[in-house]
């Protein structure tokens, strides 16, 4: 692993940790479903970052179900933040649409 990869992983972990910290702080104040879904997406994104770093160091194994050569957990963690953000934006759009009727 070269210096560039190490800086890349360290910056993702550091910035993600700060984002998750503020998401958890905001979680106690948010009672809205849209914000809760956004917060879940931020936390899931950080979980994916941590998992990919552990995978690159060889700490997490390839055990478990896989689709081809890609572990199912990697696929789920990579897509969970986008699915959560999609649900948040769809909920916000549905609320806005209902208010117009």
pLDDT tens, 3-59?
999 999 999 999 999 999 999 999 888 889 999 999 999 999 999 999 999 998 888
Number of H helices, E strands in the chain: 3, 2
Burial class (CB in 10 A: 0-12, 13-18, 19+), 48: buried
Domain edges within the chain:
3-100
For residue 84, pLDDT beyond 90: yes
Q: How far is CA 19 from the centre of its chain?
A: 11
Whether residue 63 has pLDDT greater than 70: yes
Question: The tokens of 35 are what?
Answer: 């914000």
Give the number of other Cβ atoms within 10 Å of residue 24's Cβ.
12
For the chain, strand residue ranges (E) read 66-67, 70-71
Residue 37 contacts residue 85 (beta carbons within 8 Å): yes
Give yes or no for residue 101 having a pLDDT over 70.
no
DSSP 64: S
């Amino acid at each position: 692993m070269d210096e560039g990869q190490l800086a890349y992983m360290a910056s993702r972990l550091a910035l993600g940790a700060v984002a998750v910290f503020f998401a958890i702080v905001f979680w106690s104040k948010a009672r809205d479903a849209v914000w809760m879904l956004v917060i879940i997406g931020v936390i899931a994104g950080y979980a994916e970052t941590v998992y990919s770093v552990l995978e690159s160091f060889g700490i997490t194994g390839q055990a478990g179900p896989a689709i081809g050569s890609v572990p199912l957990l990697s696929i789920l963690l990579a897509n969970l933040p986008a699915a959560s953000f999609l649900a948040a934006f769809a909920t916000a759009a549905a609320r806005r649409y209902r208010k117009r009727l």
